[in-house]
Amino acid sequence: MKKISPSILDVPKDNLINYVTQLTKWGVNNVHYDIMDNIFVPNVALQYAEVKSIKENCPKHIMDIHLMVKDVFGYYEMYKNVGDIITFHYEALTEGEILQLIEIAKKDNVKLGISIKPKTKVREIIPLIKNFSLVLIMSVEPGFGGQKFIENSLNKVSELKQYLTKNNLKNILIQIDGGINGDNIKNCFKFGVDMAVVGSYLVKNFSEKTINKLTER
């Protein structure tokens, strides 16, 4: 599966509903929602009311929620009934807490994703990996849109891809987020990414043509 999940972080607030509606009309069925707490990262992003209003007012689509927060449990409770998949940061919790969260999500029947920052190694999350539906490799430091893609992220993708293939865990999606554009997305897919988050590049070039360019093989 090779898909994009547009991030609406850099979309003007008064245009969120239009933007997401237009994406679904162009056949995009995943959208990436960035949530920040100004603690885990030095910024704030979408508010709960905005995400809820998009859910209520836009055509149905898969909502992937990217929690860049320290209080993962609190935000998980807030978003578990809004999002289709909730991705948190490995760096925000202890291993014991991660195991606790996995149990909670199992009971709630909520799909969980785990994300790692650029400096975190893939091997750190390997022991936990089978519990997740998605692994998000950050290709910029989380917190802001419009940053430059960190090339080494591709090595992490390929390491992860090899592990998942070898261990028959191919149903776990590999997502990449940060600095993706019409040029580097092909390489991401080539290295094993299933779903590429595209933020500012698509905001700046918002057209069906760009969507086609990003998803063409």
Binding residues among 175-204 for ligand DX5 as defined by CB under 6 A: 177-180, 197-201
Could you give the CA distance from residue 201 to residue 217 in angstroms, rounded to a whole number?
18
Closer Cβ to Zn ion, 64 or 172, answer by number: 64
Q: What is the DSSP string of 77-132?
A: HHHTTT-SEEEEEGGGS-HHHHHHHHHHHHHHT-EEEEEE-TTS-HHHHGGGGGG-
Site residues, Zn ion (CB under 5 A)? 34, 66, 177
Q: Choose the catalytic residue: 37, 64, 177, 194.
A: 177
Judged by beta carbon, residue 110 or residue 188, the one nearer ligand DX5 is 188
d(CA 89, CA 139): 14
Give the three-state DSSP class for 75: helix
Task: Select from 15-23, 127-135, 138-146, 208-216 the region that touches ligand DX5 (CB under 6 A).
Answer: 138-146
* CB closer to Zn ion, 89 vs 161: 89
Amino acid at 106: K
Out of 4, 23, 30, 32, the only residue in the binding site for ligand DX5 (CB under 6 A) is: 32
> In one letter, which amino acid is 120?
T
Active-site annotation holds for 177: yes
Token pair belonging to 183: 């040029």
Q: Which of residues 67-106 bind ligand DX5 (CB under 6 A)?
A: none
Mind telling me the catalytic residues? 34, 177
**Applying CB under 6 A, which residues contact ligand DX5?**
7, 9, 32, 34, 66, 140, 142-147, 177-180, 197-201
